[in-house]
Structure 1
């Protein structure tokens, strides 16, 4: 036995000695060094991709240059190599290196200069071929970075080009003609867009946004609130380790200057993504006219003529942080803050006349200051599993706080039978919200299963005071309301080669308890909803697909609509809430066809219907001569519509695109004991013709058509036509872009007209707004990323409170 051990030991020693001998004979490792510079400026070029290949074109290693342009390949065998250098906006360059000389341990190739890429026309053509619209199983996305018009437009303006979205005469965003929807930022709710999305989106440069997603049949993982669906805005993130970002500086007349930026950085396991901006919005003096004519034995005619001027400013900042603890544990956090402030002066003359002449007249000066601030933050922990990469467990928490303060000083002069005293109005509101959520995802074969539970705790408070002669009026408005929601969902998704389906259901239990102190009214509402959804997708060919979806959505009455307090800021037109309002449920079906070859075309058909929809109702009191507007669940509404989006490259340099939406609304309901109906076609379109010159300049002209939009059973807003002309030019290696535009060059003002018809009265509201505007902007793209910032795949989406 000892002899066997001895032989084995001798053999191991021999093998070890042989290995050491062979190791000693291997040549030392080799290194290749160098630096990359700009051929024109002679400056070092950071983040240039350097690829090391064998002489047979096989990749050995690759890296990016440091801030001083240096690179170094170490520990490589002696051989012949090709070094390939790549940087966006520069011509690729290859350097041959002979590293076979045994007398050297490294080769310094010295300074390598890269020449600027001069073929601008080729770059424009590549961008034009990038698909602008993408259809997925449950959503449609519009790529703003593929649309050159985004360099000179804000997000609100670009929304006119997105399928299913339209902008009405008052710049309200409509989704399938519906004003009830949710807006997300990067797939998550944001307090900055829950109260006044129009002003924020108007101040947000479209060049800082990657794409806009439209989800008209949201799956069960989303809260059921929002009759129209969800609009998801994705900020710019270029998936390419390092940093990148965009900076946009713009000026608009008569509004004012604006700024927008995005920034992304990834270093090791830590990543930050941020966006922010701000703008001034100054409106010179404009005029307004309100009229009301009543019928009957004591007919009256009311005119309110005035002028308005205002100035405001707004700003927003959002951040997302990501830390990869290891390959299975991910921690992310979000923080958003926004604020706005505006000052306005309104001067209005009111005359009420009847059969015997003027019965009342006065002149009111209204000086107001409005401010608001929103903060929301969330923390997410995502746990992965080794055996199943598609299996995820996520725990999420979100806090949101919004507060606003509105002050108005109303002074009346030239009084004729007008007895209301001068007053100061102050309205303070505050909304606080906490959300806890758990999501679980598991995949097997071609199936993906999602399930989760969620709880939302929401607190609403308001303090509205009338100060008359230094004393608080008894008609103050104080309320405190709680709304708590418990929910659970389950979704199953199957993805095959030619077709896929996603179906599920969501259960939501709502508890509402509101105490309106001023009116000694208490509202308690508890109700349960089971909301189904299903979406199917068929791939007809490599370039075409068909989508079919059905979903139920609901809208809960907000605390403001439930509040019975009467707003008397305009004594002739009162506004009151209704504590008896109930939730509204909508049924929605949609069919879409998408094809993309040389011509890109998306066609959609949809049908929606609602029973007992909460609509505004206006009634006139012939005794007090006052019109009062409130909300009631009395409307049966149906809508049949179609949407078409076309992008047609007439030639390599000339391109035509259009986005059109048509909806036919039918509304029926009882107002003051009389059945009324309102049938109306809602039409909108946005068309653009663009030409790209060989020099890199691009010019485009556009025409937007906005038709009438219903305001309920009793009225509508009138439509208008607008035009635009813009130019843009890429500068400095295509990282800096100059853009300029004029909108409505032939018309200085536009008149927004809203008509309301009652059983015994007709009202017209006409507001003059600046229509002609001039814009100039500079957009700068900087940096480069190698790896995308990792984010949790599940998180909190509080879409239960809709627009």
Structure 2
């Protein structure tokens, strides 16, 4: 919003100049016409020769960050009705042509103190140099959320949360930090949803990335939260974004320091259950280049537990109770090294290399008690040890060229990502009652390789008050899964390969896209209209011991394991916003977009994988993409100490995915029925919802914020003769407070509650959690000590009930127990950005900027 409003203001000024200065306006002015009063449209060549240029650069006073769309306003002293001006470009640069004379000049940017130069005489062209603006204290108080430099900005197509330093995520991961962003929810297993919908697209710096795990959320558990600058919540994406993700997009922007010189920070943490880590962010910036690096190492023990109470309507056992204990030991190292080289004043080339390696050692112990009627018949013990090694690489190149001083710009990107993950598991299950006998001993090998290429080009053409954009993006991804299962033949004492499960599956997803969009402003009304054309190819190739007929007979399903599908789709977008005042304190917005949800390789792979002998997951090659149409109506209101953001939304999705459970008709060697989970295209799904967020700063020492989201979804569809339609309502709420105590101590509390929810077969109880954090600045504010408690009440547990015609399962699952983390951060050549020290006064005084020419 900070950037949008000055742009709207400048366009309004231009409109006002045109409206107030008709060709004959000079004859009605009391002053004698002069060069300084001549309308630009009426200028003669002689007068044009006397015109001058006023230029300069606008930056944030504290951070040194450039301010795009800051506004220069020139008001003629001789003719106050005559107003001229312009806006800064992507480099924070402005250049305005005007007639010589005396003007009241001001430079404005929403949320910052206006810099004023009263009665300044401009007789010749001048470069004002660098103008530094300070954040207005009154504006800052209205937009604080939590932590340092935490604000919310509302744009035509997204909300931006500058999450700064959230105390409760010190020593935590990006996945943890996302759970504190309004509209976002991260469940106990790390699955991310937006407004209750898990089909959300995760981007890093605007692009699909190996850092985000190619759409998986696993990688986000490895990256440090300290690396985040801000998170863009894009619920109504414009045409410049991929159409993937029916819920919307979460774009995670990583830090890249812009301050000149060498600076950075080092952060180390230790915790219980056993965890430790260290993260370093360093940056070297000169006039010609900028080198940046983030490197971190992480170790964590993540003990968890689960309980399942399963009852069956058929089979040998009437009831099976499972107690699971999870012991996870995760080690990870990642580094991101990049350099930006300024080729000219208007162009730059940025290259970066990202590398992540991780080694996970997991041990799951599962005790089963099996009942016939109410009598304990037998007991088994299952132990699964899994070692997972993963290496990810990413190479990125970005070229930016500002073609002219009017803001015409061309950018080009290339990115290559590779991920190689190897899992080796040993599964042993044996009876412990009435006798100690081996049931099964298995070795599982799984190797998943992912390769992705991205090519992108974007063009921006300002046209007076309007702007035109066009571009191309190509995403080419290949996922190869090599799965082998060897089982011990107890008769021979040899391991035998299970041909029914061993396979190699190659899945390609190729997307070529063209887009164009156009935006304009008419007074307080702005719009952005776009259209995106995407061609999608989904291709699967199965290599196994079976041909397709044998494969169908073995699994008992009629599907095509080898396929090559192509889709061509148009995805229109429209975003509107109306400003009720010139200060941008109140607006209403409306967005519409069409989106697509493409099935990933895991949902497509037809060979089953299993979490136990009795439960398997099988992909469905017959899955087609799902499509959605979504509408969003938003309202924003800022008061001096209070900010309200709210919206209501509706989404209709066709061919929506739904995971269903059904019997396979097979039983284990000890007569337990085997259950299969499979994703299907359900017919339709309708979602309705409303959300609201409040940010309140009653005093300098207290900051409060809360958000609430309520939604309802209704789905309908039939699969294999079973009606899986459902109608469900749910909600979640989030509250946070931050208190500044004496002696530079900060205290933060975050609380979260997610209401009960249900699907076609499963009902899940509400979920509640509280996090606490304390921090203190030391070493002349160059260092910070912090302590946080995650899940204070040890209550972040998922409890659910699944009911079908053939079995009922009651379960409780806790991914990680309550944890404590202590963190020390040291900053060098980089003063801490404290909220209360970013400028004083009433936010409207003169002389709050300064020239640094």
| Smaller-chain TM-score bracket | 0.7 to 0.9
Deviation, 1:239, is 4.2
Partner of 1:166: 185
| CA deviations over 1:580-601 (Å, ceiling 9, x no partner) | 1100011111111122221111
Structure-2 change in CA distance of 1:125 and 1:605 (3 Å): closer
| CA deviations over 1:384-441 (Å, ceiling 9, x no partner) | 323x542222332221111111111112222789996411000001011222223222
Is 437-446 or 465-474 further displaced after alignment?
A: 465-474
Deviation, 1:343, is 0.6
1:513 aligns with 2:555: no
2: CA distance, partners of 1:366 / 1:297: 25
> TM-score under structure 1 normalisation?
0.77
SS at 2:688's partner residue? strand
Is 149-158 or 508-517 further displaced after alignment?
A: 149-158
Structure-2 change in CA distance of 1:254 and 1:263 (3 Å): same
| CA deviations over 1:475-527 (Å, ceiling 9, x no partner) | 31211233222221111122455232111111111122211122543112111
Which structure 1 residue ranges, 5 or more long, are not aligned?
1-46, 48-120, 786-803
| 1:745-756 paired onto structure 2 within 5 Å | 745=792, 747-748=793-794, 750-756=796-802
Partner of 2:458: 439
Partner of 1:601: 644
2: CA distance, partners of 1:674 / 1:125: 55
Deviation, 1:632, is 0.7
| 1:248-647 paired onto structure 2 within 5 Å | 248-284=267-303, 286-295=304-313, 300-354=318-372, 362-386=380-404, 388-414=405-431, 421-468=440-487, 469-475=494-500, 476-518=502-544, 519-520=546-547, 521-541=561-581, 542=583, 543-597=585-639, 598-621=641-664, 624=667, 625-647=673-695
Structure-2 change in CA distance of 1:769 and 1:675 (3 Å): closer
Structure-2 change in CA distance of 1:259 and 1:660 (3 Å): farther
2: CA distance, partners of 1:345 / 1:154: 22
Structure-2 change in CA distance of 1:240 and 1:435 (3 Å): closer
1: CA distance, partners of 2:814 / 2:207: 36
CA contact (8 A) 2:704 2:737 kept: yes
Structure-2 change in CA distance of 1:641 and 1:169 (3 Å): farther
| CA deviations over 1:717-765 (Å, ceiling 9, x no partner) | 33222223322222233222221122444x3465432332223322223
Deviation, 1:146, is 7.2
Is 355-364 or 129-138 further displaced after alignment?
A: 355-364
SS at 1:729's partner residue? strand
CA contact (8 A) 1:438 1:453 kept: yes
2: CA distance, partners of 1:615 / 1:683: 20
2: CA distance, partners of 1:751 / 1:457: 38
Structure-2 change in CA distance of 1:309 and 1:398 (3 Å): same
CA contact (8 A) 1:664 1:682 kept: yes
CA contact (8 A) 1:169 1:720 kept: no
SS at 1:560's partner residue? helix
Structure-2 change in CA distance of 1:644 and 1:779 (3 Å): farther
Partner of 1:763: 809
Structure-2 change in CA distance of 1:642 and 1:244 (3 Å): farther
Partner of 1:73: none
CA contact (8 A) 1:152 1:740 kept: no
SS at 1:650's partner residue? strand
Deviation, 1:770, is 4.3
2: CA distance, partners of 1:474 / 1:631: 23
SS at 2:457's partner residue? strand
CA contact (8 A) 2:188 2:796 kept: no
SS at 2:724's partner residue? strand
CA contact (8 A) 2:768 2:795 kept: no
| CA deviations over 1:327-369 (Å, ceiling 9, x no partner) | 3432222322222211111222334545697787643221111
1: CA distance, partners of 2:538 / 2:619: 16
Deviation, 1:203, is 4.9
CA contact (8 A) 2:649 2:690 kept: yes
2: CA distance, partners of 1:457 / 1:125: 45
CA contact (8 A) 2:367 2:381 kept: yes
| 1:689-728 paired onto structure 2 within 5 Å | 689-710=737-758, 712-728=759-775
SS at 1:577's partner residue? coil
> TM-score under structure 2 normalisation?
0.72
1: CA distance, partners of 2:709 / 2:374: 49
Deviation, 1:137, is 1.4
CA contact (8 A) 2:735 2:751 kept: yes
Structure-2 change in CA distance of 1:153 and 1:575 (3 Å): closer
2: CA distance, partners of 1:575 / 1:260: 37
Deviation, 1:132, is 1.6
2: CA distance, partners of 1:126 / 1:620: 56
Q: 2:822 aligns with which of 773, 776, 785?
A: 776
Is 729-738 or 625-634 further displaced after alignment?
A: 729-738
1: CA distance, partners of 2:289 / 2:615: 56
SS at 2:238's partner residue? coil
Structure-2 change in CA distance of 1:556 and 1:297 (3 Å): closer
2: CA distance, partners of 1:221 / 1:612: 25
Deviation, 1:289, is 2.1
Deviation, 1:141, is 1.0
Structure-2 change in CA distance of 1:131 and 1:599 (3 Å): farther
Deviation, 1:189, is 2.6
CA radius of gyration, larger in: 1
- Number of residues of Structure 1 aligned to a counterpart in Structure 2: 661
Deviation, 1:325, is 1.4
Structure-2 change in CA distance of 1:368 and 1:154 (3 Å): closer
Deviation, 1:252, is 2.4
1: CA distance, partners of 2:165 / 2:349: 32
CA contact (8 A) 1:139 1:215 kept: yes
Give the RMSD, CA atoms, in angstroms.
3.0
Partner of 2:175: 156
1: CA distance, partners of 2:141 / 2:717: 54
| 1:81-120 paired onto structure 2 within 5 Å | none
CA contact (8 A) 2:411 2:459 kept: yes
